[in-house]
Amino acid sequence: MAQKPGIPKGTRDFSPAEVARRNYIIAVIRKQFELFGFQPIETPSFENSSTLMGKYGEEGDRLIFKILNSGDYLGKVDDKLYAQKDSLRMTANISEKALRYDLTVPFARYVVQHQNEIDFPFKRYQIQPVWRADRPQKGRFREFYQCDADVVGSQSLWQEVEFVQLYDTVFTALGLKGVTIKLNNRKILSGIAEVIGAKDKLIDFTVALDKLDKIGEDGVKREMREKGIAEDAIARVQPLFGLEGTIADKLEQLSGLLHTSEEGKRGVEELRFICDTIAEYGLQTAVLDLDVTLARGLNYYTGAIFEVAAPAGVAMGSIGGGGRYDDLTGIFGLKGISGVGISFGLDRIYLVLEELNLFPEAVTLTSRALFINFGEEEARYGLRALMALRKQGIRAELYPDSAKMKKQMQYADKRGIPYTVLTGENEIREGHYTLKNMETGEQKAVTLQELGAILSGT
């Protein structure tokens, strides 16, 4: 019996219209990456398990897709271990490779492995799929693309400035106006924890703070209490909930709050440099904002933290994020290489553009014309014109069978092909073509040259 076809949960087929739209977003991002001096690399879909495991925490390890070894993989497993029937312990013995979980760890591995071929600072971008064995839900998939740009090998804050500009430029180019680029700095978070006397609770403190959007001020305080942060420390956090005004105002308030913390003061200085520079140049359509509650995988970032929110009124989580991480390559043996980077969330950007109807019409790649097939001689005559049109860069096709005209017309219609070309005895004798506009129904006899001009829209 034939199998009922389906695909694994959390994965997707993309139709021609969807691929065209995804490729449009990718092309815009890629173009701006390149204008900003980033160069593409690609890494293998699977890495040695040892490269990935232990880099994303226990939860991450669990969500990494493991690839079964080939051949008689059980034959190599020790009998005693085998008898335990312990999945967790077995995995390392029957699987040596795993699917990429993000693009950052493979990038770190790449930098270390190829350090002698790379000229630092190394500005690379990478647009490839990643895989996570997460529970699938709306907008969360088991296979999805990441679009990352990172620089490694320099601590200069100019890079943070340029990343803010890059976000602004990409979203402007996509016609998505009014995104908010939220900025924070790990040093601010550390400084606050220090000042309130909760330095040892930095992670609990920031995880709670990060939830302000979702659970509100009271919720954050409740969680801090639950995590054992002292009541007087929580009281001292109070000013954070009341930060108001312009970025400069907020920085002023923070500066006062953090004046006893060296690290906090450095954080304020860094933010001030970035914000002042951006203010001087201005942004095209995005808005920069300071958000001291922003944490995004705090264990990872060491300086700037970025997150992009969709324009007001669009219910969507972050559509991009990133930050600075010192010493990422240290895990692979190359110390002292600072990196900073940002990522674009392709799937969410797609949903936002769709919701706001921002995809250009020309994104679809349907043929401009379908040549109707009336039989061998007619097809032969039509194909010759087709060849000439394609040489002019015009997408066009011949209906392969001499089916009923109605069927062929319906095909053009359903596919959204704007023109059909009819070539019968008359056309062949007179050396011209009958062009039909599928929208208006208008027909007219044209020469090959006119055909090319009309179809190319010139």
Residues 298-357 that bind a second copy (CB under 8 A): 330-333
> How many CB atoms within 10 Å of residue 295?
24
| Residue 381 binds to a second copy (criterion: CB under 8 A) | no
Closest CB to a second copy among 22 and 227? Answer: 22
Shortest Å, Cβ 155 to a second copy: 8
Q: Is 62 in the site for a second copy (CB under 8 A)?
A: yes
**Based on CB atoms, which residue is closest to a second copy, 314 or 363?**
363
118: nearest Cα among 359, 337, 400: 337
Closest approach, Cβ 398 to a second copy, in A, equals: 6
The kind and range of the H/E element at 124 are strand 122-131
**Phi, psi (5° rounding) for residue 360?**
-65, 145
- By CB under 8 A, is residue 194 in contact with a second copy? no
Interacting positions 65-84 with a second copy (CB under 8 A): 65-68, 70-75, 77, 82
For 325, the 3-state DSSP assignment is strand
Closest to 303 (Cα-Cα) out of 179, 126, 109, 159:
159
Give the nearer residue to a second copy in terms of CB position, either 93 or 253: 93
**Binding segment (CB under 8 A) for a second copy, from list 264-272, 315-323, 361-369, 435-443:** 361-369
Residues 241-280 that bind a second copy (CB under 8 A): 277, 280
Of 362, 316, 311, 321, the residue nearest 344 (C-alpha): 321
**Residue 81 CA: distances (Å) to CA of 70, 72, 77, 386:** 19, 16, 7, 66
Residue 225 or 281: the one with the smaller Cβ distance to a second copy is 281
Would you say 333 or 441 has its CB closer to a second copy? Answer: 333
Nearest to 153 by CA among 429, 340, 420, 394: 340
Structure tokens belonging to residue 317:
């989580």
Smallest distance, Å, CB 442 to a second copy?
23
Residue 39 found at the interface with a second copy (CB under 8 A): yes
Cβ–Cβ < 8 Å for 312, 336: no
The answer to whether 180 contacts a second copy (rule: CB under 8 A) is no
Considering only the stretches 88-96, 178-186, 215-223, 420-428, report the one whose residues sit in contact with a second copy under the rule CB under 8 A: 88-96
Angle at 127 between CA 126 and CA 131, to 5 degrees: 110
- The piece of 107-115, 194-202, 210-218, 236-244 that touches a second copy (CB under 8 A) is 107-115
Contact window for a second copy (CB under 8 A) among 257-265, 308-316, 317-325, 380-388: 380-388
Among 93, 113, 255, 285, binds a second copy (CB under 8 A): 113
Q: Is 378 in contact with 424 (CB distance < 8 Å)?
A: yes
